[in-house]
């Protein structure tokens, strides 16, 4: 093993606005460990310190670092209607005395009334964010372009906008934010046999894997697909990791063969609650009193159960699951979650 990189020194090269106030807890799930026959731990990134917590707090540190370095007074960001990212960005903007423009995309068909009014939508309104909508949900470039049009208008009004891009061809500042997350877990837990994380944009998965590898941790990291199927997500992870290696200047070979993605819990699709999602969510709640969210973390936990059933993760192994937050969306999924 090569010398672990000095991650802090490397990250100090990038403008950063601190939004995390401390390391997040790592807890052992005793009852689930017993029930599943593994040694199961959870990293509580649902307890990051901004608004209702979640993984976007880490990701936003470097976006806001750059935005403030550029003198921005307004940030623009796009996401699903129940996006945690846009809500967290609006909270960070409020905390830093900036304004926010949130663009909500129609990514999930057939949703009920609460999806459009409660959960993260309500929170973002309370935060005073400006809302726009975008008619389609699978058009990253188009969604980014619409943000740029709004940014141009703001500029004409004398404001200084900063766009947080969704598209993959921009510097992976969100992934950069998760590198210290991986390093933090490594310090907290020492050796383990497998980690299980959600894999959406790939910022969390890519940054977390990188932080672990750069700290010398070699255990497999399984990315559970929440948005795209396995082949698409694998290709996306290669891009994210290639860009992150470029940005931080490490050898991409260190992470490229560590890409593991699994899509057995994705059905019926992004943001839609299938039976394995619902079962995982209630199992965690009823066994450990911990709430998962319907879009990402319930699927991630369903993924862990699937990997265990397939024998990829074995009985007796020490496993860490990353809880990335998202619980406000529970209230946006009221109709979909309520037992009939
Ligand atoms: C955004 C989000 C994810 C996915 O993270 P990516 O970095 O986009 O892959 C996972 N969990 C929650 C709760 C999220 O809000």
Query: What are the pLDDT digits (tens) for 300-330?
Result: 999 999 999 999 999 999 999 999 999 999 9
Separation of alpha carbons 325 and 69, rounded Å? 28
Q: How far apart are the first and last CA of the chain?
A: 54
Q: Is 271 in the pocket of ligand 1 (CB under 6 A)?
A: no
Atom nearest to 326 CA in ligand 1? 13
Reduced to 3 states, what is the DSSP secondary structure of residue 245?
Answer: helix
Separation of alpha carbons 156 and 133, rounded Å? 21
Q: Which residue puts its alpha carbon closest to atom 9 of ligand 1?
A: 200
Q: Is 296 in the pocket of ligand 1 (CB under 6 A)?
A: yes
Confidence of residue 112 (pLDDT cuts 50, 70, 90): very high
Both tokens of 34, joined, read 């017993």
Separation of alpha carbons 200 and 140, rounded Å? 13
pLDDT score for 133 = 94
Rounded distance from Cα 1 to ligand 1 centre (Å) = 30
Query: For a substitution probing ligand 1, which of 54, 173, 323 has the most ligand atoms within 8 Å of its CB?
Result: 54
Q: Please give the model's pTM, rounded to 2 decimal places.
A: 0.97
**Using the 8-state DSSP alphabet, how is residue 107 labeled?**
-
Q: Convert the pLDDT of each residue in 99-108 to its tens digit.
A: 999 999 999 9
Q: Convert the pLDDT of each residue in 48-77 to its tens digit.
A: 999 999 999 999 999 999 999 999 999 999
Rounded distance from Cα 154 to ligand 1 centre (Å) = 28
Q: Convert the pLDDT of each residue in 34-51 to its tens digit.
A: 999 999 999 999 999 999
Q: Which residue puts its alpha carbon closest to atom 15 of ligand 1?
A: 84
Domains of the chain: 4-54+172-337 (3.40.50.1100), 57-164 (3.40.50.1100)
Q: Is 223 in the pocket of ligand 1 (CB under 6 A)?
A: no
Q: Is 120 in the pocket of ligand 1 (CB under 6 A)?
A: no
Q: Convert the pLDDT of each residue in 120-155 to its tens digit.
A: 999 999 999 999 999 988 888 899 999 999 999 999
The DSSP bridge pattern shows strands 221-225 and 194-199 to be parallel
Q: Is 83 in the pocket of ligand 1 (CB under 6 A)?
A: no
Decide if 83 is catalytic. Answer: yes
| Contact yes or no for 263/277 (Cβ under 8 A) | no
Give me the chain's average pLDDT, please: 96
From the list 83, 100, 199, 201, the catalytic residue is 83
Rounded distance from Cα 224 to ligand 1 centre (Å) = 11
In 3D space, the residue among 49, 98, 42 whose CA is nearest the CA of residue 75 turns out to be 98
Atom nearest to 205 CA in ligand 1? 9
């Amino acid at each position: 093993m090569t010398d672990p990189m000095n991650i802090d020194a490397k990250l100090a090269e990038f403008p950063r606005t601190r939004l995390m106030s401390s390391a997040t807890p790592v807890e052992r799930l005793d009852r689930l460990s017993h029930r599943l026959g593994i040694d199961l731990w959870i990293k509580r990134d649902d307890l990051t310190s901004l608004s209702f917590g979640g993984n976007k707090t880490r990701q936003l540190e470097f976006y806001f670092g750059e935005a403030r370095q550029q003198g921005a007074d307004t940030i623009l960001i796009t996401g699903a209607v129940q996006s945690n990212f846009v809500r967290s960005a609006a909270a960070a903007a409020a905390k830093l005395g900036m304004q926010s423009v949130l663009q909500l995309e129609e990514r999930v068909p057939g949703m009920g009334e609460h999806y459009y009014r409660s959960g993260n939508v309500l929170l973002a309104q309370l935060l005073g964010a400006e809302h726009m909508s975008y008619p389609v949900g699978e058009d990253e470039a188009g969604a980014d372009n619409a943000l740029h049009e709004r940014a141009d208008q703001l500029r004409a009004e004398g404001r200084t906008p900063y766009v947080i891009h969704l598209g993959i061809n921009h510097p992976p500042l969100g992934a950069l934010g998760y590198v210290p997350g991986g390093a933090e877990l490594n310090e907290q837990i020492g050796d383990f046999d497998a980690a299980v994380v959600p894999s959406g944009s790939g910022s969390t998965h890519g940054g977390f894997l990188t932080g672990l590898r750069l700290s010398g941790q070699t255990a497999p990291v399984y990315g559970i697909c929440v948005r795209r199927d396995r082949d698409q997500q694998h290709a996306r992870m290669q891009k994210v990791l290639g860009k992150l290696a470029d940005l931080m200047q490490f050898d991409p070979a260190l992470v490229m063969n560590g890409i593991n993605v699994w899509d057995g819990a994705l059905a019926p699709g992004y943001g839609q609650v299938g039976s394995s999602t619902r079962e995982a969510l209630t199992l965690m709640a009823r066994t450990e009193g911990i709430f998962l969210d319907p879009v990402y973390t319930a699927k991630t936990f369903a993924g862990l159960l699937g990997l265990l059933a397939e024998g990829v993760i074995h009985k007796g192994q020490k496993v860490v699951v990353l809880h990335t937050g998202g619980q406000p969306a529970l209230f946006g999924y009221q109709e979909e979650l309520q037992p009939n």
